[in-house]
Amino acid sequence: MAGGANNKASKHLQLKSLLTHKKNAVGLFEPSRQVESQVLTERLLQEELGWSKAPPTWVSDLCPEVVEHYNKFPSFKRVPVVHGFPLPVGTTIYSAEGVCTLSAVKQLAASVGTVLHLHAGAHLSAVLHGQPIPWDVDIDAIVPFFLFGLWHPSSRNVAAA
């Protein structure tokens, strides 16, 4: 959906990030042999960015700003495959669903009088990239433990102990 310069800039940012952490990627998708940065670069530059299909309705309805962001700064349409192994990167849809879910949980935290803090890779990606790091396919978030019982009823006994 996004055009020209934004796609190219987004792709190069993703490539730079992935290549900076190549050792992690190599270990995940092909442990028996080293993959040169050039091979990854050439393969990833061939990948199309954007939405593989329309954004999920729930994301469009709940988080139009997330859809707008990923229209401007898309991730991959599909999970890239190198030498028969999928690279550990998120697609545009997967990333948008995660960011929208995080937004909903942040609103839920505010509704019970607390805050949600990003942690680890989620915090790093927000600061450095303004969106999830392409190969970090989880979201790390924390809330004050003493309020955990508000989130999950079965935890009330643990929180009281």
Q: What is the pTM of this model?
A: 0.65
Each domain of the chain, given as residue ranges in start order, spans 4-160
Q: How confident is the model at residue 85 (pLDDT cuts 50, 70, 90)?
A: confident
Position 9 pLDDT exceeds 50: yes
Reading the block at residue 1, the tokens are 């959906």
Task: Kindly report which listed range (4-13, 20-29, 58-67) carries the lowest average pLDDT score.
Answer: 20-29
Residue 41 has what pLDDT? 76
